[in-house]
């Protein structure tokens, strides 16, 4: 079976020694999360245009597919390891992990290989120590494998992976799926002519090489602070920072008056991705609505030749309510209209909400994915 390139055609040269064939390889135990977390994750990667070694390729059996898996790992820019309770009772998963960490040691310094662990209802210490329910799965695997050298490699790799910085997901599954998706989004930004080193990003420093044709920020986030500043937004900004994604942050929005509104519009012009978080009260803010108008204008201006992206998140809001300014979302919009009577501006707001409500995006609510 041919390996499928998800999200479009991959240039033939991309699998060469100095190029990556895939953005992402995902190592996971299919029986645990194939129809829940993994399904949402693969949908996220595909929607973001990220090339990944997909779930379907793992359905073959035998030595042939195991060899394909190891080759795919070597040609993937990011390895995402989803630790679940039964991950370590799979010889394949354990061998993938050994290969992932070996590739990380070999390529991370000069070619930028990244390993991102997700501890999905599993404690990192249980991965490190092979204890708890995770350890029970590992013992089941050991019962049928007695190669001491191989077993030691597995133990060493689990210990190493359990000590890596990653994501501990144990509640609010929809939000966490999105955060995992944002981590993977870093490969999109790195692929789109990134300007500086990961070290500079992690220190939240402004790149010195900003100029014509380059973005100053990876991400601008438009949101209504009172709705989500201390919960979803806080987690989101933490995710972006941990992933080394350079963003126009929450702190800059705490100024007031014309000066900061001008700064916001300038930041939108210089951001590679605009993330719009629609909440119940988003449209009762003139600032949010003006940001949205500017974001969509920039998208029309830059998307074709410079690759601007708009990603809407409908956070406990129905997209149709954004489109039609109805329901609780519409109530917020009416409160804004009560104090703004400029017909031309109001029509721009309506047109922008209608356009944004029709965009493909994420519908996040407080219900777990299962």
pLDDT in tens, 24-82: 899 999 888 888 888 878 877 776 667 888 655 555 455 556 778 888 998 998 899 99
Residue 228 has pLDDT above 90, yes or no: no
pLDDT reported for residue 67: 79
Give the CB-side neighbour count of residue 148, counting CA atoms within 13 A: 0
According to the model, what pLDDT value does residue 111 have? 64
Distances (CA, A) of 309 to 17, 47, 48, 179, 217: 30, 12, 9, 17, 12
Residues in the chain: 370
Give the CA angle between residues 6, 363, 26 to the nearest 5°: 35
Domain boundary at 169, 202, 223, which? 169
Instruction: Give the structural domain span for 156.
Output: 12-169
Q: Which of 332, 241, 319 is nearest to 288 (CA)?
A: 332
With 0.75 as the threshold, say if the pTM is over it: no
User: Could you tell me if residue 41 is inside a domain?
Assistant: yes
Q: Which of 169, 204, 236 is the last residue of a domain?
A: 169
pLDDT at 174: 47
- Of 11-25, 150-164, 267-281, give the lowest mean pLDDT range: 11-25
Q: Are residues 230 and 326 in the same domain?
A: yes
Residue 301 located in a structural domain: yes
Q: Is residue 282 one of the residues assigned to a domain?
A: yes
Residue 97 sits in a domain whose CATH number is 3.40.50.10140
Please determine, for residue 137, whether its predicted confidence score (pLDDT) is greater than 90: yes
Residue 284 resides in a domain:
yes
Q: Is residue 178 part of a domain?
A: no
**Longest C-alpha distance within the chain, in Å?**
77
186 within a domain of the structure (yes/no): no
Query: Domain check: are 136 and 76 in the same one?
Result: yes
Distance CA 85, CA 29 (A): 9
Q: Is 211 in the same domain as 158?
A: no
Same domain, 158 and 17: yes
Q: What is the mean pLDDT of residues 183-199?
A: 43
Whether residue 302 is contained in a domain is answered as yes
Task: Kindly state whether residues 202 and 94 are assigned to the same domain.
Answer: no
**pLDDT-derived band of residue 95, with 50, 70 and 90 as boundaries?**
very high
Same domain for 201 and 290, yes or no, is yes
Percent of the chain, pLDDT > 90?
A: 37
* 322 lies in the same domain as 210: yes
- Spell out the residues 6+ positions from residue 46 whose beta carbon is closer than 8 angstroms to its own: 6, 7, 52
Domain count, the chain: 2
Per the residue annotation, which of 2, 4, 96, 102 is the catalytic one? 96
Q: Does 346 score more than 90 pLDDT?
A: yes
- 201 & 235 share domain: yes
Is pLDDT above 50 for 162?
Answer: yes
Q: Do 226 and 319 fall into the same domain?
A: yes
Mean of all residue pLDDT scores within the chain: 77
Same domain, yes or no, for 208 and 115? Answer: no
Active site residue 297: no
Q: Is 6:56 a contact under the CB 8 Å cutoff?
A: no
Same domain, 97 and 195: no
Residue where a domain terminates, one of 114, 135, 169? 169
Does residue 1 fall inside a structural domain? no
202 with 159, same domain: the answer is no
């Amino acid at each position: 079976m041919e390996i499928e390139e998800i999200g479009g055609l991959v240039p033939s040269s991309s699998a060469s020694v100095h190029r990556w064939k895939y953005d992402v390889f995902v190592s996971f135990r299919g029986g645990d999360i194939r129809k829940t977390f993994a399904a949402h994750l693969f949908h996220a990667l595909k929607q973001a245009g990220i090339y990944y070694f997909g779930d379907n390729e793992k359905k073959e059996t035998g030595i042939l597919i195991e060899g394909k898996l190891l080759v795919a790992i070597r040609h993937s820019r990011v390895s995402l390891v989803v630790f679940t309770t039964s991950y370590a009772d799979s010889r394949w998963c354990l061998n993938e992990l050994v290969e992932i960490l070996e590739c990380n040691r070999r390529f991370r310094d000069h070619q930028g290989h990244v390993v991102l662990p997700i501890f999905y209802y599993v404690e990192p210490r249980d991965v490190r120590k092979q204890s708890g329910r995770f350890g029970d799965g590992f013992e089941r695997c050991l019962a049928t494998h007695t190669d001491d050298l191989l077993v030691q490699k597995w133990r060493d790799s689990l210990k190493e992976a359990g000590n890596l910085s990653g994501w501990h997901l144990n509640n609010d599954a929809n939000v966490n799926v999105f955060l995992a998706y944002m981590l993977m989004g870093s490969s999109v930004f790195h692929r789109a002519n990134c300007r500086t080193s990961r070290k500079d990003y992690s220190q939240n420093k402004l790149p010195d090489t900003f100029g014509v044709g380059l973005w100053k920020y990876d991400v601008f986030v438009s949101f209504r602070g009172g709705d989500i500043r201390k919960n979803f937004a806080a987690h989101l900004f933490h995710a972006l920072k941990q992933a080394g994604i350079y963003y126009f942050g929450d702190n800059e929005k705490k100024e007031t008056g014309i000066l900061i509104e001008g700064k916001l519009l300038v930041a939108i012009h210089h951001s590679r991705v605009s993330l719009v978080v629609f909440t119940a009260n988003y449209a009762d803010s003139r600032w949010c609505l003006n940001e949205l108008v500017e974001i969509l204008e920039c998208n029309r201006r830059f998307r074709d030749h410079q690759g601007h992206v708009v990603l809407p998140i409908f956070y406990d809001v129905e997209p149709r309510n954004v489109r039609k300014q109805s329901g609780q979302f519409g109530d917020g919009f009416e409160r804004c209209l009560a104090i703004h009577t400029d017909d031309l501006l109001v029509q721009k707001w309506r047109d922008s909400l209608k356009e944004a409500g029709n965009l493909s995006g994420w519908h996040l609510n407080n219900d777990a994915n299962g």
